[in-house]
Structure 1
């Protein structure tokens, strides 16, 4: 009898421990690569066709879609909240400091959602669309591919204050700030450097790199002068929105030139050059600059890991019919 009672107690304790583990490890384990295999088997071809078309018309859209995914995941998890327009009950994330006038490709997401809804209405979340579109953008522009974990649901609200709280590292960040911001999201220093490699594509506005090209000393002088020709020193003028490629050599190809540029002190942003400035990440930048396969491998692992940040699953949230607004 005592043995039976002991066995029953141990079984109950095991169940409690397992439940606690599930709570503290989050719900990312609920995500799976085959989440839509039966409910929406054509989701991948639908997303890819729209992303391919958008990039063909404007290659910069690929970088914009990757950035949307990053900015979504860093603010309250990968829940599609960054896509919500303001309403009478909340002010969303679009006008937050890190996003306002900076995030793009919302119309591309609208087009993707429209096509996916025709294939399988009310099944695929906007949060998952961002994850797939980011992967497709990398692959279409010449980078690696990977199996995207899916099953996220969409937030019913968004928070301007959360997006403004400093969780998204600004382009003025120091290395220690970058490391701590990523660590706060469960991402290692290696993850941070690898994810920064997404700056091998896309462009930035003068207003975010002006201080670096005029005031920093850890920058190649000829590179600084070239950028100064397109970015006036005076702030508050139309020049603020002039853009320059983050990677001068191959701005529309996902490769490792970003890291090669850092070694030559040709990082466009202050935060970029911080990765190779006599600090703890110098050796990793050297590795990635010489070994594109290692960069790709670490980038893929980091993207999958980032996609696991606090997703809504199960009965949480909803599957939005329109990525810009919650369902009625």
Structure 2
């Protein structure tokens, strides 16, 4: 099929939409102008060596600049298709078009990393974002050697273990968890983890190992506590909030006995009538009677403010679980 016939067939098929595709039909001179423009925009980067190109753009923290590079590479990819369609094969020698796909993919990866870092910096609840970032970190090396690859694999492994340990923690409001999470976040934000030296990798492995060990120990203690409440993480969290408050009881056995009594009564009422949770204010009022009654039964002094605090925490736990919003 000739170019003219192809054009006519496409025009017949697209009708009025044809004007939206007019950019496909460029003159040879227009294509040459665009090639020159792309070369100018990408002048400062190595377009022949994808590894060097990746290292160069990984040093760019300005998202706008990366978007400009991405657009230029997109234009180059589009031009390649247009050149082939028109049969201007001599223009293919003007640039190594086949390498642009790889350069484009490297640019997209770095852009995704910048987007994640920006979201992490601006978001209040960054747990999921940081998990995604840690899971998708790419390691680009200034020098590729077997030793570095081994160390990089170790770094990836401890990153994965740390991420999974943090993700497995069921009490993300625990001050110790928050501290460890912030420590990991600082490590992530301190320097691009996608371009680090061998020595920096070793230091990061040591730092991550310390964080992992602390998180693993915290999870161990949390799971022991959860087992006391028939593996109900809601009550394990409430137990910890009561201890943190410090003015109710410091005897964990007393707290546990009291909360188990509350749990038995509350769960029984919900089991009989699950619609209780559809009316939050009614459930709150019902629950506070159980809370006060259980503390009186266990002879633990409870002032009004503390009773409201415990009840608010419990009510929120039940409502979150009911609504599927529990962490």
Q: TM-score range by the shorter chain?
A: under 0.3
- Larger radius of gyration between Structure 1 and Structure 2: 2
Higher helix residue share: 2
Determine which structure has greater relative contact order: mean sequence separation of CA pairs < 8 Å that are 6+ residues apart, divided by chain length: 1
TM-score normalised over the length of structure 1: 0.22
TM-score normalised over the length of structure 2: 0.23
